[in-house]
Structure 1
Amino acid sequence: MRRIDARSLRGLAHPLRMRILEAIELDGPATSSTLAARLGENTGTISWHLRLLAEHGYLEEDPERGTKRERWWRIPDRTTLDPSEFLDDPETRRALDVYLRDLVERYYDRVRAYLDEDWPAEWQRAAGLSDWRDLHLTPDQLHSLNEELAAVIDRYTAGTAPATTADARTPDRTPDRTPDRTPGASTPERAERVIVQVQSFPRRS
């Protein structure tokens, strides 16, 4: 996992670059033309932003898919960001503000998209839009909470979480959401792609 530093944060903090990165995160490797069609932008603009993302280490070319006429781009590694590292740098704090505000807007858009879609009852029962409001935690406790939640998600991402009875009877068919990065992972036939958003933060009383 690669830590985002000040320079790479300033390179990422642009709404279109963040949309490009999210599109590849969600749907896997892509070309400038496929991304342009998906995002409603022209290919030249997308190509310029792809090269900039690659310069900052967020993307790399996929040589197995690329041709002389068209490049495929993929995400080489996961990244992590610690906002507290940029508090004393006004320029980077502005980039951090752009990044975090765009991130929150995309979280909101994902939830709205889910609510607008017509999912069957079994998926509506399984989904959850919940919050817990009675927590009183120290910074260390909040950090530990987030670390434990991430560890649970990692188990499911790696395909090592316990299967339900229905899942155990169903043959594996499709790989995890990033098949090129986890070639051995697989999901049951009835599985749909799922986004998990965990939001935890302190509040003033």
Structure 2
Amino acid sequence: MSESQEPPEPNSEPSPEPEPATESGDARRAVSDPAALKALAHPLRLRILRHLGIHGPATSTTLAAVLGENTGTLSYHLRRLEQGGFIEDAPDRPGGRERWWQAVRGLDVRRPAQDEMTDGERAVASTLDRMRMEEDVELARRFMEDQANSKGWMRGSRSLSHLTAEELGAFHDAYLDLLARFAHGPEDASPGARPVHLRWFGLPAD
């Protein structure tokens, strides 16, 4: 479950390998600055990114109406997301007094190694983890309750393997490659497509 057009989960250590390529052959843009992760660690900013990912470009006025916030608040959080590299001006939108924003495509958000972060940065990462986990628990509940009637729109898998840390890292990078292969936003989705949450996590069983 990756949120369409929402940045991938920032829960992995940086990889020494080159960044995986998109279908067009361009390397995905990596984001690993702790300050950028701090820009994500706010519930309203996550809601903004989710809305842009599902519905496409929007202005601070349209976002304020949908999210129930005032435009001043939205403008502040949009600037923080822009500074973090998560949103940008939307091309081919009519000019005027308001800017149209879209989520940046092709981001590979990587968390710095634990020993490279300060205590404050680790606290920010923990805050972001907690917000993400609350969302993931709700998604798991929905999956359990609604899968039987989903008509093929809910898929999942569980497995167990014996891996080294390096093999687990390679699996994670292969997963990111797979996400890039199937990454579509509302602007280039196929007919009949719906926004779909995608997730994966791995942890030791012993």
Query: TM (normalized to structure 1)?
Result: 0.72
Match of 1:130 in 2: 157
Cα separation, partners in 2 of 1:121 and 1:40, compared to 1, 3 Å: closer
1:116-195 maps to which residues of 2 (within 5 A)?
122-123=151-152, 127-132=154-159, 134-157=160-183, 176-179=184-187, 185-187=188-190, 189-195=191-197
Separation (CA, whole Å) in 1 of partners of 2:167 and 2:147: 38
Q: Is 1:106 paired with 2:141?
A: no
Cα separation, partners in 2 of 1:82 and 1:136, compared to 1, 3 Å: same
Cα separation, partners in 2 of 1:186 and 1:55, compared to 1, 3 Å: closer
The structure with more helix, counted as a fraction of residues: 1
Cα separation, partners in 2 of 1:27 and 1:108, compared to 1, 3 Å: farther
Query: 2:56·2:186 contact (CA, 8 Å) conserved in 1?
Result: yes
Match of 2:96 among 58, 62, 68: 68
Match of 2:78 in 1: 50
Cα separation, partners in 2 of 1:63 and 1:135, compared to 1, 3 Å: closer
Structure 1, unmatched stretches of 5+, are: 158-175, 180-184
Q: Is 1:20 paired with 2:39?
A: no
Separation (CA, whole Å) in 1 of partners of 2:79 and 2:150: 43
Separation (CA, whole Å) in 1 of partners of 2:124 and 2:149: 40
Cα separation, partners in 2 of 1:50 and 1:202, compared to 1, 3 Å: same
The number of residue pairs the alignment matches comes to 177
Match of 1:160 in 2: none
User: Bigger shift: 110-119 or 69-78?
Assistant: 110-119
Residue type matched to 1:92 in 2? E
Say which structure, 1 or 2, has more relative contact order (CA 8 Å, 6+ apart).
Answer: 2
Query: 1:65·1:72 contact (CA, 8 Å) conserved in 2?
Result: yes
Match of 2:204 in 1: 202
Match of 2:25 in 1: none
State the Cα deviation string for residues 118-147 of structure 1 (Å, max 9, x = none).
Answer: 9856325xx323322x32221111111112
Q: Please state how far the C-alpha of 1:28 moved relative to its aligned partner.
A: 1.6
Cα separation, partners in 2 of 1:28 and 1:108, compared to 1, 3 Å: farther
Q: Please state how far the C-alpha of 1:97 moved relative to its aligned partner.
A: 0.8
SS in 2 for 1:123: coil
1:79-94 maps to which residues of 2 (within 5 A)?
79-85=108-114, 88-94=117-123
Q: Please state how far the C-alpha of 1:50 moved relative to its aligned partner.
A: 0.6
Cα separation, partners in 2 of 1:40 and 1:195, compared to 1, 3 Å: same
Structure 2, unmatched stretches of 5+, are: 1-28
SS in 2 for 1:60: strand
State the Cα deviation string for residues 11-33 of structure 1 (Å, max 9, x = none).
Answer: 32222122212221232211112
Query: 2:89·2:100 contact (CA, 8 Å) conserved in 1?
Result: yes
